[in-house]
Structure 1
Amino acid sequence: MASSSQHGLLTYAAAISGGLLSSSCCVVQLVLNYFSIGCAGFSVLDPFRNTFLSITYGTLFYKVWRDQTLGRGLLTRENAITSLIVLALSVSPTVVRSINHGRLSSEGDLIVKRVEITGMNCESCANSVRNGMMKLPGVEQVRVELKDKSVTIWSKREVSL
């Protein structure tokens, strides 16, 4: 039988692992992209994101409830740190998606070009496309739509792709 501290570590590990699995398409892939490693195929986990989030938050709530019933208090330092890590992991896909959509300005003298992109399967891939397009000369704004597999570019001059 596991000791109380081992049980606590296992529940923290389960909560953080679930959070990582729910956001692996973004967090892990963004790290891989930083090191110029292409798509690792984490987008296959996207359909299970809500399941991973349910397991993650269920495990975390169980740990907090168990600590409370054992008289350790509602908000221990470990629970607070784990909660912050889980929260950051679980919102990361939403943050990356909002970055990929970009902010649209009302500048009227920009050329708008829409291009279809193949092979883009996750928000991290879309982020790589966005970052690459933003490096092109004259590009002012880029909006990447993962669902449509398209990118819209606003530029001061014609951009050749």
Structure 2
Amino acid sequence: MGRRILSDATTVVTALLSSSCCIIQLLLNIFSYSCAGFAVFTPYRSYLTSTTLIFLSLLFFKSGWKSRRAWTTTMISLLLMVTPEIVSWLNIGSTTTIETSSTMVLLHLDGLGCLACANRIKNALAAVDWVESVSVFFDNSSAIIQCNDYYYDGSHQEQSTIAAALVQVIKSVDPKYDASLIVPGAGAQGR
């Protein structure tokens, strides 16, 4: 019995590590804790995923296909392994048609440690009443924000003014986060 529990625990732990501990980070974010540094496992994700799949194969080999315990461990492990993809999909969001006068702002983000950090920034920006849609991309540390041009006092605002307000929202999430406006066609010096 002890070996079975150890085998199941090892499989689930490798699945958790292969997710770069995304679940733990999301739970920490709920309580407003910053990045816990689990993104260090990201470069090893393919190895940890392979190890988890090997452990799952051994589990089925030892206990058979009809074992409820093996299927439960498999479902938990697979859910943990795909968590980063689910979070990434949620961060990108859906495309909406915007009929009001709006401005698209493209920001470069600094301080992102993991997908959960990107999720925190997305949620903070989405909570702003004049922000119409937000997509945050962890892979290239950027955000695309569609904003209503007429915010605050109802007067038209320039893109740089809107971007400055968005940067302040991002900095308010956690002091380690920062952002800068990306000017299309300006290259790296445009930031």
What are the ranges of 5 or more consecutive residues in structure 2 without an aligned counterpart? Answer: 150-156, 167-191
Partner-residue secondary structure (3-state), 1:10: helix
Distance 1:28 1:53 in 2: 17
User: Bigger relative contact order, structure 1 or 2, given CA contacts below 8 A and separation 6+?
Assistant: 1
How many residue pairs align between the two structures? Answer: 152
Structure 1 partner of 2:25 = 29
Check if 1:7 corresponds to 2:3.
yes
CA contact (8 A) 1:23 1:92 kept: yes
Describe the superposition over 1:8-37 as per-residue Cα deviations: whole angstroms up to 9, x where unpaired: 111101110001111134211101111111
Structure 2 partner of 1:51 = 47
CA contact (8 A) 1:25 1:46 kept: no
Structure 1 partner of 2:131 = 139
Counterpart of 1:83 (choices 74, 78, 81) is 74
Distance 1:39 1:145 in 2: 16
Distance 2:139 2:48 in 1: 22
CA contact (8 A) 2:108 2:142 kept: yes
Check if 1:60 corresponds to 2:72.
no
Describe the superposition over 1:67-126 as per-residue Cα deviations: whole angstroms up to 9, x where unpaired: 13xxxxx12111111111011101100000011111112325432111111101211110
Counterpart of 2:117 (choices 110, 125, 146) is 125
Q: What is the identity, as a one-letter code, of the residue corresponding to 1:33?
A: N
When the two structures are superposed, what TM-score results if normalisation uses the length of structure 2? 0.75
Distance 2:51 2:140 in 1: 30
Partner-residue secondary structure (3-state), 1:105: coil
Check if 1:151 corresponds to 2:177.
no
Q: What is the identity, as a one-letter code, of the residue corresponding to 2:56?
A: L
CA contact (8 A) 2:63 2:70 kept: no
Distance 2:117 2:66 in 1: 37
Distance 1:39 1:119 in 2: 9
Check if 1:116 corresponds to 2:108.
yes
Distance 1:79 1:35 in 2: 33
Q: What is the identity, as a one-letter code, of the residue corresponding to 1:100?
A: N
When the two structures are superposed, what TM-score results if normalisation uses the length of structure 1? 0.88
Counterpart of 1:102 (choices 81, 93, 109) is 93
Shift of 1:141: 1.0
Indicate the RMSD between aligned Cα atoms, in angstroms: 1.4
What are the ranges of 5 or more consecutive residues in structure 1 without an aligned counterpart? Answer: 69-73
- Compared with structure 1, are the counterparts of its residues 147 and 16 closer, same or farther at alpha carbon in structure 2 (3 Å cutoff)? same
